[in-house]
Each structure stands twice: as structure tokens, then as C-alpha cells.
Structure 1
Amino acid sequence: MQITKFLSILLFLSFIVVGCSDDDENTFVLNGETSNTQTLGTSANDLLSDTNFRGLTVEIISVEGFAPTTTAINTFRSFLEDRLHKPDGITINQRTVPSSGLAPFDINEIRQIETLERTVFNEGDEITVYIYFADGISEIDNDSKVILGSAYLNTSIVIYEKTLRELSRNPLSPLLSTIEAATLNHEFSHLLGLVNIGTPLQSPHEDSLSLGHCTSENCLMRAAVEFESGMMDLMGNGVPTLCPICRADLRANGGK
């Protein structure tokens, strides 16, 4: 492994922010469904509040052998329950599928997989989110950064599980479950409109050098953190949380 890549994967939030790629390109039609194929951030209020949707179903589809850990899913569920007003409850359905054989992936290939695999769409007062755990890496990975996940439509996320597992093998890295949960929470927060992607800012805190991310130190939505002793302390504390400023944005847009 080249030294530059070795150093880059040790940056904790590189697998949250340098490790995320948010794609808000034009809408595409998925099996005739348009409510789940809008621009990133469009459904922020619908996900946060109970105004239009009282329940949430998350469809997690994993390639065989690349399912997330139970610990990560439980942490993710707690994150959703803490932030969303969904009085009818939050349902997380999981299933596995064969490999697409398309890795490494560009975002259009990820979208094509969604057209084949997604089975749950908004209906009545139930909003749905699709999350795909891929068996390969992003094709835009390079020696200076790797992509761990991408929120690419209003209710769609891809997690590059193969990359997460490679990161977790380093003895200085957090547990795989911590990396998975951090990536899930970060990418879902983009669906919730953070930072300034569909959820208006209540105060200035968007990173001008990495739009869609937060300037608050140690926030889940931080774009990058220098590799230093303080970083190790943060890793020891487990999954990062949203800072008070990001939480204020979500509350103002209908969240808890």
C-alpha cells in the first residue's frame, strides 16, 4: 500500500467526510417512482417531521458477505429515533443479494443497481429510504482519499462496505461497527439536509472549503480532521455525534 494512502485511511473523519461523496445530479426515474428519485435534500422535512409521513421504512440491501454489523444497525436506529418525528415507528428491513459484478462503481452504476433491487417506495404516510452495501470501492478512490459512502438522491445511499472493511483491518483504526455506524449516520444526515442541503442554516457553520459539511470541531458532519493525538481520543469515544448547531438546524426543519 502506498504511504499516502496509508496515512489517509488513518484520518478518522476521512471515512466520514473526505470519505463521502454527495451526488445531487438531476433526477432519474426508478421503476416509474418519482417521489424517491429527487434531488438530495428534497425530502429533509418529510424525513424529519410527521407532517406528511408518520412512519419510516429503511430498506437495507447488502451484497452477500458484505452485510453491516448488528451493532452498527442498532446504533443507526438509535440515531434515527433521536432525530426524527415518526410516531408510527421506524422499520429497518434487511436482505442480501448476489454481487452485481460491476465494481469498482461509478454513481450511475449504483443507480442502475437501485433500479433492479429497490422494492420499497413512499406510500401513504410512510416514507422510505434505500441503502445499498456494496462489495466494491468507488471508482474515484485514489492515493489521497477513499470514498466510504454517498447520499446521491433524496432517499438513496450507497455504503462502500468493502472499503470500510479494509480500513478496519488497520490496527490503529476503530472497530468496523464504529466505522459503519459513523458512515451511516453521516450519509443519512445529508438526506436530512445537512449541512445547508435542504435544511436551512440557523447560524453560519457550513464549511466553505467543503460545502455540505460543518465547521464545528468534532461534529459528525465535519469535513476533515487533522491526524493528531486528539484524533485518537475521539476515536476512543466511539461514533461522533452531531454538534448543537447541526441539531438546531434539524429541529428548525421539523426534527427533534
Structure 2
Amino acid sequence: MIRKKLLLLLFVLSLIGCTKDSTPSTKAPNLKTTGASASDLLSDDYYTSLHLEIAYVEGYKPSDQALSILSNFFQKRIYKPDGITMEMHSVASSGKSPFSIEEIADIEKKQRTKYNSGDEIVVWIYFADGKDEKDDNEKRTLGSAFRNTSIVIYEKSIKDFSNQIGAPPKEILEATTLEHEFCHLFGLVDLGAPLLSNHQDPENEHHCATAGCLMNAELEFGSGIADVINDSSVPDLKQACINDLRAAGGK
């Protein structure tokens, strides 16, 4: 399984050709590298609607407020004139925490039921009952975009983090992590969307160096997140990232 920290060449190769597929049973268009479907997700050139299949382990269901914030973010940043829909269903715990990304991909293979069909592009989101295997005392991964239409949210890590003194509310952490990981699917930063200016963080690949931006690495890895979310609201994309997103087909 290939995570988003790949050479740009691989993403360029994945973007070659039309990604639209009219056969519901075809999974290949949803099994590409992160950022490969950036323009498909952002624009209405090929797909005019977006569907989210949200799978969660019992006890780790995302909050309604977080999903509402995410929906508003979509309305602001992507073109899907035929609508954006969501469905949620619970799944049994895999019992494999802490997770490798390969184990998350295996869960997706077993649990995902929806794939691109006709004019609809589908994203699968898994709310996990555990943490990333690479977590340590200084870094805690809250989410990861690990394919072109696949996201894992480490909900247990978010719940644990939100219980700390001075931490943002759980629903804000959820919404921030969701928006951040979707922006990786949208090709930010340098994952398929054009990099129009030099704003990539030299110390954190595929993240933005602009202070306070939604694409700061702190918002994915937890360290320093309270300094970025300082008013109990989801940080905005800063102009450099907005410019890249628009160049890839977004608003």
C-alpha cells in the first residue's frame, strides 16, 4: 500500500487518461494514489455528484456537527451541481490496533461497498477504534488520505486528544481532520494540484508552510494543533493553497 508520501512522478502517471467509469462493479478508478482524482473531486467536468460512504466502529461514530461543517466546506470549495450525499454504517472492530496503513487498506477491501458509478464519484471514510502504528509521545496521527478516494480517521486518537486540558472540542478536531485529509485528496500540497508558489513545508512533505493554514502538518499529526485551532473553529485554507485548489478545478 502506497501512502501519500510518494514521488510526484507516480501521481502524474496516475492522472493520465480519463478516470470516469460507468460500470458500478469496477473498483480500479478508486484504487489509485492519493491526489490522482483531484480534478475529478473538485470539478464537475466528469463527476457531477459526490457520495461519501462512512464506516465507523461502534462507539466511534463521527459527530453530526463535524459532518455538517464538512458539508459546508464542500459547498465552498468544490463543484458538484447534482449534489453531495452521505451514508453511514457501523462495522465490527478489526481488533488490529495500532494500525498499519496496509491493515486499513485491508479493512477497506472487506468493508467498502460503494465505488464510482456514472456521474457520481465516491469517497470511503473509515473511523477507526485505534491509532496509527507510527504514533509516539511527540506525534499522534489523527487521519490519513491513503488512496485517491480513501481516508482513515483515527477516531480513538481524536477522542483521547480532545480530553486533554486545553484541547479543541472533539467535533472541531473531527471536522479539521476531515477537511485536511480531503485537501490531500484534492491534490494539496503538491499531490496532483499545481503548486503555483513555493509554500510547501520543507520539513513536512505535502503540507503547507503558511502559518495558520488548514494544510499545516500540525493538523494531521496532533503536535501543536491547539496553536493552530485557537478559537474553537476549523482553520481556513490560506491563499496559496486556495490558488492551487482553484488551478486543479475547485472554487
Class of the TM-score when normalised by the shorter of the 2 chains = 0.7 to 0.9
1:147 to 129, 141, 148: 141
Deviation per CA, 1:37-65: give whole Å up to 9, x if none.
Answer: 00111000000000010000011100011
1:157 positional shift: 0.4
Identical aligned residues as a percent: 45
Q: Is the 8 A contact 2:57 2:93 kept in 1?
A: yes
Supply the AA of the counterpart residue of 1:148.
L
TM-score normalised by L of structure 1: 0.85
Aligned residues: 231
1:238 positional shift: 1.2
Deviation per CA, 1:117-141: give whole Å up to 9, x if none.
Answer: 1001001111010000000111111
Q: Distance in 2 between matches of 1:57 and 1:76?
A: 13
Question: Which structure has the higher relative contact order (CA within 8 Å, separation 6+)?
Answer: 1
Q: Distance in 2 between matches of 1:54 and 1:98?
A: 32
Q: Is the 8 A contact 1:24 1:152 kept in 2?
A: no
Q: Distance in 1 between matches of 2:71 and 2:43?
A: 16
1:41 to 23, 27, 35: 35
Q: Is the 8 A contact 1:23 1:150 kept in 2?
A: no
1:223 positional shift: 2.0
1:235 to 225, 230, 233: 230
Give the aligned partner of residue 64 of structure 2. 70
1:171 positional shift: 2.3
Give the aligned partner of residue 247 of structure 2. 252
Q: Distance in 1 between matches of 2:183 and 2:6?
A: 14
Give the aligned partner of residue 93 of structure 2. 99
Q: Is the 8 A contact 1:23 1:153 kept in 2?
A: no
**Superposed, which structure 2 residues align to 1:200-211 within 5 Å?**
200-211=194-205
**Superposed, which structure 2 residues align to 1:17-96 within 5 Å?**
22=4, 33-96=27-90
* CA gap 1:40/1:150 in 2 versus in 1, 3 angstroms: same
Q: Distance in 2 between matches of 1:63 and 1:251?
A: 35
1:23 positional shift: 5.4
* CA gap 1:153/1:23 in 2 versus in 1, 3 angstroms: farther
Q: Is the 8 A contact 2:26 2:115 kept in 1?
A: no
Supply the AA of the counterpart residue of 2:126.
Y
Query: Gapped runs of 5+ residues in structure 2?
Result: 12-24
Q: Distance in 1 between matches of 2:129 and 2:195?
A: 36
1:231 positional shift: 2.4
Query: Gapped runs of 5+ residues in structure 1?
Result: 1-20
Q: Distance in 1 between matches of 2:133 and 2:102?
A: 11
RMSD over equivalenced CA pairs, Å = 2.2
Give the aligned partner of residue 132 of structure 1. 126
1:217 positional shift: 0.9
1:33 positional shift: 1.3
Deviation per CA, 1:154-205: give whole Å up to 9, x if none.
Answer: 0000000000000011121010001000000000100000001000112111
**Superposed, which structure 2 residues align to 1:212-227 within 5 Å?**
212-224=206-218
